[in-house]
Structure 1
Amino acid sequence: MVAVSFGMLCVLQVTLNISLRLVYNRCFKYSEERDQLQTSYNNLTKERDQLQTSYKTMTKERDQLQTSYNNMTKERDQLQTERDVLSGRLTNLKQTCPEGWQKFESSWYFLSTETKTWKESREDCLERGADLVIINSDKEQEFLFNLKKRVWIGLTDSVKEGTWKWVDGTPLTTGYWYDKQPDNAGPTGNEDCAEIHEDQSPLKAWNDLSCDSKLNWICEKAFQHHHDNIL
């Protein structure tokens, strides 16, 4: 009986050892799977956080792009408005100043392409709604001199010899005569009209000349106040 009992105990011991080993192996396997799952979970959590960060960054960039787009749209609209204003100004400018005229300070100037007597030149200017140029400053004189033409200006002493007056009736106060002019020393001895002579210096360029001589001429037309506001 003792031998049988001992034998059974041995069998039981073997069975228990096998069972424990099986349990241990299973627990080890579960532990390994658990670690793998934990690692996978951690990786997924990290990826989720990275994706969340990327999403926030993309959202911020989207908002910045939207802001930039809005600003560009606003600038585009402003440029469109400015273009329309400039287009309107150009239209008004073309209407105010016909072809062949040019602007300097507060006046428009027309330089002829043909030659006429002083009287004929003034008549041409009057037909254009202007008059022969009246010079009021050094800057204006220099501007006209730089046109590089011998031209009639709106100055004459035909009413009273030696008393030079502009075409609007105002007396001459500042002149730009070159040396020894006016001398009234032409072939007829009757030089009653003034010209700008291109071969002199800018502020010493006037010469008296017979009004029947034929020269180019310069017309001047002042801005109207509503055109000043547009331009």
Structure 2
Amino acid sequence: MAVSFHSSESDISVALGEYQEFPRPEPEDAAAERAPKLKLRHVSVVLLSFGLLCVLQGVLNISLRLALSEPTDKGETEEESCPQDWLTFGSSCYYISWQGKSWDDSRQDCLQRDADLVIINSIQEQAFLTGFTEAAWVGMTDRKKEGTWVWVDGAPVNKDELRWALGQPDGAYGGEDCGDIRTMIHFIGLNDYNCSVRNRWICEKTVDGQTGSIYYLNA
């Protein structure tokens, strides 16, 4: 809105324009008081968010622990393990002696431990047992029929799958009817040997500690 005044004598013209009110600048003291409040509010939001994240992380950790602690089988409450000083491979436990006995005495020692001389079922199992000692009795023999090697459970020895030492079995020295496993330079694998020689031996039984089926071969 504009208002004009005119004077005839002095020819003076005065014009008044529209009045506009501008906001007053905020006092410095008030702005200074408001800044800490805004900063405190921002910090409170950050702390609240951090607290919620901590609670969520705790809930996730507890849930994960409960999930991992639940047995995979409802009837299974704890994991079975081998006796102390026995080795574990697959579902079997192995005892390796530190003294020497004949093949028959070695087998008797295994039977007293609710085990038997080891039966090697695969090349992987043979590889696992290789290297613990230079020679150790295992549960195979050809006493019943010369040249027909069987394990103590009556199963035939798979000559094609397992590794025999170079040139073995050879039935040397008038008859070698018991088997051992060798780890020697240029002589690694299964070997036939005189049953009366004192060798170390390897016993085997299942992980769950069960005696299992024990087979007795006719000597």
Question: What is the TM-score when the length of structure 2 is the normalising length?
Answer: 0.69
Going from structure 1 to structure 2, the CA distance change for 1:158 and 1:200 (only over 3 Å counts) comes to farther
* Residue matched to 1:207: 191
For structure 1, which runs of at least 5 residues remain unmatched after alignment?
A: 1-37, 226-231
**Deviation, structure 1 residue 155:** 0.8
* Residue matched to 1:181: 168
The answer to which structure has the higher helix fraction is: 1
1:183 partner letter: D
Question: What is the TM-score when the length of structure 1 is the normalising length?
Answer: 0.65
Contact 1:149 1:216 in 2 (8 A): no
**Deviation, structure 1 residue 157:** 0.6
For structure 2, which runs of at least 5 residues remain unmatched after alignment?
A: 1-23, 72-76, 210-219
1:98 partner letter: P
**Which SS does the other structure have where 2:27 is aligned?**
helix
**Deviation, structure 1 residue 167:** 0.9
2:189 partner letter: A
**Which SS does the other structure have where 1:206 is aligned?**
strand
Going from structure 1 to structure 2, the CA distance change for 1:207 and 1:73 (only over 3 Å counts) comes to same
Aligned pair partner of 2:91 in 83, 86, 106: 106
1:136 partner letter: N
Going from structure 1 to structure 2, the CA distance change for 1:106 and 1:70 (only over 3 Å counts) comes to same
**Which SS does the other structure have where 2:95 is aligned?**
strand
Contact 2:88 2:207 in 1 (8 A): no
Segment drifting more, 174-183 vs 161-170 = 174-183
2:184 partner letter: D
Going from structure 1 to structure 2, the CA distance change for 1:120 and 1:151 (only over 3 Å counts) comes to same
1:218 partner letter: I
2:167 partner letter: K
1:184 partner letter: G
Aligned pair partner of 2:137 in 118, 140, 152: 152
Write the deviation string for residues 94-118 of structure 1: whole angstroms up to 9, x where unpaired: x731111111122221111111111
**Deviation, structure 1 residue 141:** 1.1
**Deviation, structure 1 residue 85:** 7.7
1:134 partner letter: I
Aligned pair partner of 1:164 in 146, 149, 174: 149
Q: What's the Cα RMSD here?
A: 3.2
**Deviation, structure 1 residue 68:** 4.0
**Deviation, structure 1 residue 71:** 4.3
* Residue matched to 2:201: 217
Report % sequence identity. 35
Give the Cα–Cα distance (whole angstroms) in 2 for the partners of residues 148 and 74 of structure 1.
52
Give the Cα–Cα distance (whole angstroms) in 2 for the partners of residues 56 and 201 of structure 1.
80
The answer to which structure has the higher strand fraction is: 2
